[in-house]
Structure 1
Amino acid sequence: MAVPKKRTSKSKSHKSYWKNKALLTSKKSLSLAKSLLTGKFTNFVYYKSINDNL
C-alpha cells in the first residue's frame, strides 16, 4: 500500500532558511576579510580618515 509522506512543519523549514542565509552571509564576509588581508580586493571601497595621512 502507498504511504503518504510526512510533511515538514513550517518551523523546521523556516529554521533551514535562516541557517542557509546565515551560512551564505558568513562565507561572503570571510571571503571579503581574506581579500582585504591579501590586498586583492576589487569590489570593496573604504575611505581612510584624514588623520591617517598626517
Structure 2
Amino acid sequence: MSFTSNSIKLKNYINSMAVPKKRTSISKKRIRNTLWKKKGYFTALKAFSLGQSIFTGNSKSFFCNKYKR
C-alpha cells in the first residue's frame, strides 16, 4: 500500500463517523439513562423469577433435568 491509499481510507473513515449536530440536553440525557437502568432492572427481575420457578419446580417456560439428591 502506498501513502496516498492510506490517507484516502483515513479521510473516508473520518467522513463516515457519526457526529452529533447539537448538544444533548440534561433532561434528555437523564431520561435515556433512567430507561437504560429500568431495562436492566426488569431483565434482572425476569431472570430472578425464572431462577426461582426452576428452583421450586414450577417452571412452565424452561425445561431442565431434575437431579435427585
Shorter-chain TM-score range: 0.5 to 0.7
The count of corresponding residues between Structure 1 and Structure 2 is 41
Deviation track 1:2-46 (CA, whole Å, cap 9, x = no partner) reads xxxxx8621101011011111110110000000111111001135
Gap runs ≥5 in structure 2: 1-24
Task: Specify the alignment match of 1:22 in structure 2.
Answer: 40
| Structure 2 CA distance for aligned equivalents of residues 14 and 30 of structure 1 | 24
| Structure 2 CA distance for aligned equivalents of residues 36 and 46 of structure 1 | 8
Query: Percent of aligned pairs with the same residue?
Result: 32
Gap runs ≥5 in structure 1: 1-6, 48-54
Q: TM-score, normalised by structure 1?
A: 0.63
Partner SS, residue 23 of structure 1: helix
Task: Specify the alignment match of 1:33 in structure 2.
Answer: 51
